[in-house]
Structure 1
Amino acid sequence: MRKIKYKKGRKSQPYSLEYTGIHKSKDSEMQLFTYNDTFFSESDDFVIANLDKKQDPHKNYWLNIHGLNDLELLQEITTHFEIDNFLLSDILNTTKRTKIEEQDEVLFFNIKSILPTENSDNISVEQISFVLKEGVLISFQEKRSDFFTHIRERIRLHTGIVRKKKVDYLLYILLDSIMENFYVTLENEENNLEELINTTKKSADPVILERIEKHRDNFNFLKRSIIPLRDSLYNIKNIKFDNVFNAIEEDNFSFFDRLHQKSLELLEQINSDMGSLESASNFYFSAQSNKMNEIMKTLTIVSAIFIPMTFIVGVYGMNFDNMPELRYQNGYYTVIGIMVFIGVVMLIYFKKRRWF
């Protein structure tokens, strides 16, 4: 079973800063989008010193960071935006489960982005974290990827309503894009599952059982990833009523509710697929058992045919002097004929009984 490696996370103290992911060779890069309904600007390879301490309240800021290896840069970001170091340690510690946390005027959300590995039964995992403040959204990715390419294009071309909304809506569409990866991964697993079910009907190769167990681990991993996501999305509803955090507009809570419904749909589909996987596993063992039964039936029929022949051979193999049949001129051919006759009769009898 796939297990999350907590060893490094346990060694890290709450306020210690150490990136625990696998993409340690990726340099940290920043990209800033500044936009509203009538204004847009984009800055690649952005430097945090170029950002004014006070943002324009009429503009939205999306700061996207690729790579989590430059701790000095990340601390500079958290200091500029007055983000607690405790949240930064959660961003760097990729063993953390999906969660949502509200601190004063900051909403922290981290999520696992999951995609199938090409030409493999494995699943690739990347942790993506978000920090939402009034007018500012900061996203932290372990490496450069194309998860949000279409969202960047929507901002650049002013398509949809993203530039008419605040950054809480941007957070929604970013999370929605990540959740689409769950659907892609689940669809890939379902295709593999269908292939496995068809293969089990044609072959009893032990490799099939290994693949079944591998995909069972994948489904369990997907389930373990979605359950905390479902809980976190449900907890956003509580923010609506606490009257403390105001960075999410009241009209936009319905969008997060849609994400919660998607998480429930994913879990239901995973449970259904795991049932199908269990059926494939049972079918494999049933096929193996039936094959063994056929082998045993064949061996039993062969043994049953040769038992009377063995008896005859055993009788005439005894070393008694007074055995008159031993002196018959055609005794050998007679006994052979009787043995063949018995075998043929038994074969006809077994065939009529449909034992083979």
Structure 2
Amino acid sequence: MQRAVENISEKTGMPPGSFISVGVKEAIPSKFFVYNIDEANTRMQEVDSLTPNLLKHNDKTLLWVDTQGFSDKDSIHTLFETLNIPSLLQEDIINTRHRPKIEAFDDSLLIVTKRIIAGHGKRLHTEHIVLLLGPDYILSFQPPVNDSFHGVRERILNIKYPYTHKGYVFYMLLDNLIDGHFAIMEHLHQRLDRLESKLLNSKEESSPQEELTTLKHDIALARRIIVPMRRFVTDLRFKRDNYFLPSIDPYLTDLSDHIEQLAESCEIYSESVTMLIEINSENINIRTNEIMKTLTLISTIFMPLTFITSVYGMNFDYMPELRMQWGYPVCITFMGIISLFLYRNFKNRKWL
């Protein structure tokens, strides 16, 4: 997907709630999935643009509109105007750089969050996700690739009452989104295991410093997304009366368990990558000490040789050994014996 960052300064001086898209500009056209859900069945339409007639529904029907992509601003504006979405909520929805948050109103509930995906080179990045629960509708917004609600899309065609209630459908969307992060946790776990094995067992001279830095960044990114979700789910459990049936309590508890597992994994992985960075630093110090020890031992071997050559390099007029026929071979042999003796001695002590 081709993307470029749109400057948030375009909103400077504009009144609150102005319909100005901030964040990511998308080149891929938007798609819209419109679901009409009643107690007996579910009808789905996939369209390239939205019209007011397409969004009409009766009081006994739940409308779910899944918007994939933010490039079709006209259709998104039509959606907002037809369902009378407050302007401040519109502003939060189309701001793809908005921080994660949850806002509860008398008849609606807004969750702005991010989903984590593994992109090129297995690096993690985030994409804008919005869920809006209204009186008789649910709106979901996500990028045009990597469908976050594929599982719900298949299940919802076969569900019956009471699972057609807006609270349960909203729970399914949130559950599908949260469960998708378990694959990201497995991805991070595999990278941690691979690096741990490399640091503890490998004899490579190179240091995986870049991999460690990248992994630490990705774990921190996952924490920034998952930890706020823990608060979202907690708020849902305490504010459920306006939005959910009492029978949904076990499902919200299960959802809370899932997000707690993800949050705990983030904490464990954060500690693990810190430990790996310390191990890597220790390995670097050990390799440095080994190099310095080897150089020191080599210098020690050459010290007596340097002494001998310096003695016979003195400019005295009378040095008997210089005029001996076997002086040079004897000197070289003696130097070789000293070098061999020192080398063998260091080798026996396992210093080399």
Structure 1-normalised TM-score? 0.87
| Residue 103 of structure 2 corresponds to residue 104 of structure 1 | no
* 1:111-126 matches, cutoff 5 A: 111-117=113-119, 120-126=121-127
Separation in structure 2 between the aligned mates of residue 42 and residue 171 of structure 1, nearest angstrom? 17
Separation in structure 1 between the aligned mates of residue 268 and residue 10 of structure 2, nearest angstrom? 35
| Residue 93 of structure 2 corresponds to residue 91 of structure 1 | yes
Root-mean-square deviation (CA, aligned residues, Å) is 2.5
Q: In 2, are the aligned partners of 1:115 and 1:184 still within 8 Å (CA)? A: no
Is the partner of 1:164 in helix, strand or coil? coil
Q: Please name the residue that 1:135 is paired with.
A: 136
1:7 is displaced (CA, Å) by: 5.8
Separation in structure 2 between the aligned mates of residue 205 and residue 6 of structure 1, nearest angstrom? 40
Structure 2-normalised TM-score? 0.88
| Residue 174 of structure 2 corresponds to residue 172 of structure 1 | no
- One-letter amino acid of the counterpart of residue 301, structure 2: I
Separation in structure 1 between the aligned mates of residue 105 and residue 126 of structure 2, nearest angstrom? 27
Percent identity for Structure 1 against Structure 2: 27
Instruction: Spell out structure 1 runs of 4+ moving beyond 6 A.
Output: none
Q: In 2, are the aligned partners of 1:162 and 1:169 still within 8 Å (CA)? A: no
Separation in structure 1 between the aligned mates of residue 106 and residue 6 of structure 2, nearest angstrom? 29
| Equivalenced residues, count | 343
1:103 is displaced (CA, Å) by: 2.3
Unaligned runs of 5+ in 1: none
1:258 is displaced (CA, Å) by: 2.8
Q: In 2, are the aligned partners of 1:226 and 1:267 still within 8 Å (CA)? A: yes
Is the partner of 1:220 in helix, strand or coil? helix
Aligned with residue 332 of structure 1, among 323, 328, 331: 328
| Residue 181 of structure 2 corresponds to residue 188 of structure 1 | no
Aligned with residue 301 of structure 1, among 289, 297, 304: 297
User: After superposition, what is the alpha-carbon deviation per residue over 1:63-99, rounded to whole angstroms, capped at 9, x for unaligned?
Assistant: 2222223333323322322221100100010111211
Separation in structure 2 between the aligned mates of residue 7 and residue 255 of structure 1, nearest angstrom? 40
Is the partner of 1:127 in helix, strand or coil? strand
Separation in structure 1 between the aligned mates of residue 323 and residue 293 of structure 2, nearest angstrom? 39
Is the partner of 2:239 in helix, strand or coil? helix
Q: Please name the residue that 2:218 is paired with.
A: 218
1:51 is displaced (CA, Å) by: 5.0
Q: Please name the residue that 1:236 is paired with.
A: 236
Q: In 1, are the aligned partners of 2:31 and 2:144 still within 8 Å (CA)? A: no
1:162 is displaced (CA, Å) by: 7.1
Q: In 1, are the aligned partners of 2:42 and 2:158 still within 8 Å (CA)? A: no
1:300 is displaced (CA, Å) by: 1.4
* 1:275-286 matches, cutoff 5 A: 275-286=271-282
